[in-house]
Amino acid sequence: MFGFSSQDISRGLIGMAVLLGSAWTAPAAEKDAAIPDLAAAELSWVKVGDDYLPPASGPGPVTFYKAHPYQPNNDKGLQPTYRVSDLTNPILKPWAIEQMKKTNDEVLAGGAPFRARSSCVPGGVPDFLIYGRLEPLYFAQTPKEVLLLNQADAQTRHVYMNVPHSKTPKPSWYGESVGHYENGDTLVVDTIGMNDKTFVDDYRTPHTAALHVVERYRVMDGGKTLQVTFTVEDPAAFNMPWSAMQIYHRVKEGPITEAVCAENHGSVFNDPHHPMPEARTPDF
């Protein structure tokens, strides 16, 4: 359905293993120039949760409808729930509200909602920041490129450093990301050129191909914490720009392991209305 093949996945995994296995990090000279050290084969970043955190001020992301609070899987004995979107958020255009109401109604009627991770398709940006739940995030840094490597389904983003955007980037799942460093502790990533096949969150908030996302990855607490703040703009889907945040903690976990979703998917919750990608033609 989505055009992925086992060969594509294998190539991606092999490439990531080679890069991380060879300690593909920023050269010492660059580290001396106060570039944040995000990469390490034996260390990774694990997010605090699978929802965005609200911004310090201003318009924020869609969250759950208060009458149906979201409860993720937990060890507290609480019943997990699916997400039901709060459609009163002022950022939403009328067409987005109408579309999201349909999926809300399906969930409230007992259906299983679409979620990129569960369906084994790319999450897009900024959903990459909540893709999966406990799977770690790795970085690989060179002077010309930074890779963001999410162990969840081996999802990978490429950030091209210190270059402008293409004039007409071809739309893709993760778009075209360009970046630069600021203040010795922050990686700034500017992304455009995304297709409209993804949602910006797990509340199934839609967007158009005009989506523009700017993320700021800031290392804090002596390298123990990674704070990611981001701003989303899409005049065709949102009434105003809005912002949110994600927090990661550095842990001793690595190197990255194989986690191919479509080949190892065992969830009994897989919905036939949201099928996993499959190879329809032979690799060779």
Examine residue 271 and state whether it is found in any structural domain, yes or no.
no
Q: What is the mean pLDDT of residues 212-225?
A: 96
Examine residue 273 and state whether it is found in any structural domain, yes or no.
no
Examine residue 278 and state whether it is found in any structural domain, yes or no.
no
Taking only Cα atoms into account, the Rg of the chain, rounded to an integer number of angstroms, comes to 19
pLDDT band per the 50, 70, 90 thresholds, residue 133: confident
pLDDT of 191: 98
- What mean pLDDT is reported for the chain? 85
Query: Does residue 40 surpass a pLDDT of 90?
Result: no
Spatial neighbors of 186 by CB under 8 A, at least 6 apart, are: 36, 216, 217, 218, 219
pLDDT digits (tens, 9 = 90+) for 101-120: 999 999 999 888 888 877 78
pLDDT of 72: 84
Question: Which is higher by pLDDT, 29 or 277?
Answer: 277
Q: How many domains, the chain?
A: 1
Examine residue 259 and state whether it is found in any structural domain, yes or no.
yes
pLDDT of 33: 52
pLDDT digits (tens, 9 = 90+) for 182-209: 999 999 999 999 999 999 999 999 999 9
Question: Which is higher by pLDDT, 185 or 270?
Answer: 185
pLDDT band per the 50, 70, 90 thresholds, residue 29: very low
pLDDT band per the 50, 70, 90 thresholds, residue 263: low
Q: How far apart are CA 140 and CA 180, in angstroms?
A: 14
The two tokens of residue 152 are 């969840």
Question: Is the separation of the CB atoms in 148 and 128 below 8 Å?
Answer: yes
Examine residue 196 and state whether it is found in any structural domain, yes or no.
yes
Examine residue 280 and state whether it is found in any structural domain, yes or no.
no
Distances (CA, A) of 120 to 55, 153, 180: 29, 7, 30
pLDDT of 26: 44
pTM tops 0.85? no
The fraction of the chain above a pLDDT of 90, given in percent, is 62
Examine residue 82 and state whether it is found in any structural domain, yes or no.
yes
What is the span of the domain harbouring residue 148?
6-264
Examine residue 121 and state whether it is found in any structural domain, yes or no.
yes
Question: Which is higher by pLDDT, 266 or 234?
Answer: 234
